[in-house]
């Protein structure tokens, strides 16, 4: 249990580094609130970001933010209204939030600066189709794209072209100065991708979106086709790149959080390596690669901590399976390590929600497979059916934090300690 707590403490340190109350204040010092300040936000961290704004500026700020259902019990923070909506699938709350927040943006006087608070999840939470396309039609298209094999860049291109919010279109409503403060949940920290970049210039076009739909065999819906043709004819006019480059700030990301956790490690006792701050790929494959690295490190007889971040994916074979990328990674890692003594590991999502269940992730040690066998659990079967949650739950090796109100993607650490052998 000491090793489990040690690794969980490192995870908690990483999460704490990306909390709005920790990462935001230094970025607020040069914002002029003498004429008041409008706050507009969307994402899993929106409420804590709004709270930090209110603590810093007090009653000078007003506005509206939207977060995930279940992430708040408050209707407001001072003059900042709080809305809730669906994530990862947009719902009626997402559409209502889109309408209300766009109307607010248009109403802000020119002499009042706007601070946009953007974090992971904002794309689903703030959803407003362009005129002529219904919310239901856009959701139907979104569902098609997610199952079509289209890349995330292709999906985002279509989403942006059909939105009044995404791709810098929300910022177009602002008459005066604006600032965008971001907690990044995107590998590479591209501000145009985080929450689909509501204040960042869109470089995609209506023509590109039409070509993507044709490529993947979308059954034509006249309203959507006509809307994209109109967008293509009108060209791509969103906020200027100069403004967005000047006025956006990445306040927290995976690198900062991992480095903070590493800074607390006693280097006289531990050799530390970062495998990758921005790891991507299939969870099963990455786990096998990391297992091989850990087994080689064990042979050096040197206490070692291997850190990695990024965002892994799961290739689904069972749509009804319960789990998430971090749980999938951990089970695949346990199988690859074959109960080797001296290696323990933890993998969690920094937002506290890994996949389909409200758990952050999981923990493994050299006894994981043995304890599972004693309970009649076949590790390989649970892995193949993407049912990792139900594998780790009876072992009491799930990591449960509840919503952390931030998100800088995955945090993984493998401990190699020969003294445990």
Contact yes or no for 325/334 (Cβ under 8 A): no
Contact yes or no for 97/125 (Cβ under 8 A): yes
Q: List per-block mean pLDDT (blocks of 10 residues) for the chain, which spans 421 residues.
A: 93 98 96 97 97 97 96 95 92 96 97 96 92 88 78 83 93 94 93 90 88 86 80 59 63 97 97 96 96 97 97 85 95 98 97 89 98 97 96 98 93 96 75
pTM (2 decimals)?
A: 0.90
pLDDT at 301: 95
pLDDT single digits (tens) 248-282: 899 999 999 999 999 999 999 999 999 999 999 99
In the chain, where the domains are located: 25-252, 265-420
pLDDT single digits (tens) 282-325: 999 999 999 999 999 999 999 999 999 999 988 888 878 899 99
Taking the alpha carbons of 139, 250, 52, 257 in that order, is the dihedral positive or negative?
positive
Residues 284, 325: Cα–Cα separation, whole Å: 9
Residues 160, 275: Cα–Cα separation, whole Å: 34
pLDDT at 252: 97
Pick the CATH number of 265-420 from 3.40.50.620, 2.70.170.10, 3.40.1480.10, 3.20.20.80: 3.40.1480.10
Nearest CA to 24 out of 47, 53, 61 is that of: 53
Query: Does the 25-252 domain belong in CATH 3.40.50.300?
Result: no
Burial bucket for residue 189 (CB in 10 Å: 0-12, 13-18, 19+): middle
């Amino acid at each position: 249990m000491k090793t489990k707590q040690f690794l969980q403490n490192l995870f908690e340190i990483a999460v704490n580094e990306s909390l709005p109350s920790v990462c935001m204040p230094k970025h607020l010092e040069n914002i002029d609130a003498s004429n008041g300040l409008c706050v507009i936000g969307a994402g899993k961290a929106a409420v804590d970001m709004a709270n930090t704004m209110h603590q810093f500026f007090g009653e000078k700020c007003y506005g509206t933010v939207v977060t995930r259902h279940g992430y708040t019990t408050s209707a407001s923070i001072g003059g900042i209204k709080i809305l809730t909506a669906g994530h990862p699938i947009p719902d009626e709350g997402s559409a209502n939030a889109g309408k209300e927040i766009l109307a607010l943006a248009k109403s802000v006087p020119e002499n009042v600066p706007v601070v946009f608070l953007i974090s992971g999840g904002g794309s689903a939470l703030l959803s407003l189709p362009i005129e002529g396309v219904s919310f239901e039609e856009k959701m139907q298209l979104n569902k098609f794209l997610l199952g079509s094999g289209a890349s995330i860049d292709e999906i985002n291109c279509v989403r942006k072209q059909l939105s009044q919010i995404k791709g810098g279109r929300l910022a177009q409503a602002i008459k005066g100065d604006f600032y965008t403060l971001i907690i990044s949940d995107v590998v590479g920290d591209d501000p145009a991708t985080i929450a689909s970049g509501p204040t960042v210039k869109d470089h995609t076009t209506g023509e590109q979106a039409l070509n993507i739909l044709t490529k993947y065999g979308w059954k034509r819906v006249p309203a959507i086709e006509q809307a994209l043709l109109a967008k293509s004819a009108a060209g791509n006019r969103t906020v200027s790149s100069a403004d967005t480059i000047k006025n956006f700030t990445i306040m927290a990301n995976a690198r900062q959080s991992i480095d903070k956790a590493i800074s607390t490690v006693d280097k006289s006792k531990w050799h530390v390596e970062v495998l990758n701050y921005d790891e991507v790929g299939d969870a099963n494959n990455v786990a096998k690669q990391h297992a091989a690295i850990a087994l080689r490190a064990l042979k050096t007889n040197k206490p070692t901590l291997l850190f990695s971040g990024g965002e892994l994916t799961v290739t689904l074979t069972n749509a009804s399976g319960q789990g998430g990328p971090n749980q999938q990674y951990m089970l695949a890692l346990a199988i690859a390590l074959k109960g080797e003594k001296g290696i323990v590991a933890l993998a969690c999502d920094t937002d506290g929600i890994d996949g389909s269940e409200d758990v952050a992730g999981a923990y493994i040690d050299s006894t994981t497979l043995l304890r599972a066998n004693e309970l009649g659990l076949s590790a390989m079967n649970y892995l193949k059916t993407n049912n990792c949650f139900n594998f780790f739950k009876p072992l009491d090796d799930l990591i449960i934090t509840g919503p952390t109100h931030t998100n800088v993607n995955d945090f993984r650490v493998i401990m190699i300690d020969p003294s445990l052998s």
